[in-house]
Structure 1
């Protein structure tokens, strides 16, 4: 296993451990067991638990945005809307991991910068995609971000058909792009 792929495996394992048991379940041993390596390797790669958590959050955000197409260029309004929908449907562990950290940041101020990174990253990705579609509307960016955040959280807690909400978001994006 190369160093880069080893780090990625450890970050994925961290996401799985936290998604399943919360931050309280996060230990070097739990991550190592999930990744199938020795716990000393986790410490070697990340040093501290806080560094592991920070890098896992960055990894989760990047993976989530990449998988949803939010980082792609030259999307049509329909492709952008599909990316929004895929974000609510894919990678439940990554989404659970992020929400675990967001909730824990209420109790642990040292995690607050990770919560801010989470919100900033998604908001900026949505804003960039809207801008590429010719839409320069900060309020629409906020509406889409808040709606998306709610849809993803709802899907994690109590999966149900969110098609009507996603259909409305798609219509808003297409209307704004056409008007822009």
Structure 2
């Protein structure tokens, strides 16, 4: 089966995520991505041009895939369904989550990556806000607090997986109370 340009590009993005998740941004080279994807390193440069473009596109891909895979904000109709899947998000694709957090930390050291980090936070915050608005939560400060709590829970799951069910239950209680107001 021949690889189409779109699926070849996706393979390179996934390879980028794997390389960074396992070795950090310092390990990210065209050769490392090419080796992970099983292609020539010239193909990586051809598709993305610069390393920063590769990083930016990989993060956009990771955010889209994480939101799609977790369905943590999709079709939320009540507080009980809110954040469904957040407890398993890191388990679904730990490399995907580790890659995202690695980039966020690197953006602290490299100001040129801050717009990429801002897109990350905006995408998740907006998805979180949209889900909460659908179930009647209007308090923007609570919406931000819930987003920060969920982000922290996923980070914790990436680093030290544990049962976060009781914490999620409390978040849902807060959301339920706010939706009833």
TM-score bin (small chain): over 0.9
Instruction: Mark the CA change 1:157 to 1:74 in structure 2 (over 3 Å): closer, same or farther.
Output: closer
| 2:87 maps to 1:81 | no
SS of the residue corresponding to residue 80 of structure 2 reads helix
Backbone CA RMSD of aligned residues: 1.5
Q: Residue in 1 aligned with 2:95? A: 93
Deviating beyond 6 angstroms after TM superposition, the runs of 4 or more aligned structure 1 residues are none
Which blocks of at least 5 consecutive residues in structure 2 are unaligned? none
Q: TM-score scaled to structure 2, two decimals?
A: 0.92
CA distance in 2: counterparts of 1:167 and 1:79, whole angstroms: 11
Which blocks of at least 5 consecutive residues in structure 1 are unaligned? none
Q: Residue in 1 aligned with 2:144? A: 142
CA distance in 1: counterparts of 2:76 and 2:160, whole angstroms: 34
CA distance in 2: counterparts of 1:135 and 1:25, whole angstroms: 42
Contact 2:72 2:84 in 1 (8 A): no
Q: Residue in 1 aligned with 2:51? A: 49
Q: Residue in 2 aligned with 1:170? A: 172
The structural deviation recorded for 1:71 is 5.5
SS of the residue corresponding to residue 82 of structure 2 reads helix
Instruction: Mark the CA change 1:116 to 1:66 in structure 2 (over 3 Å): closer, same or farther.
Output: same
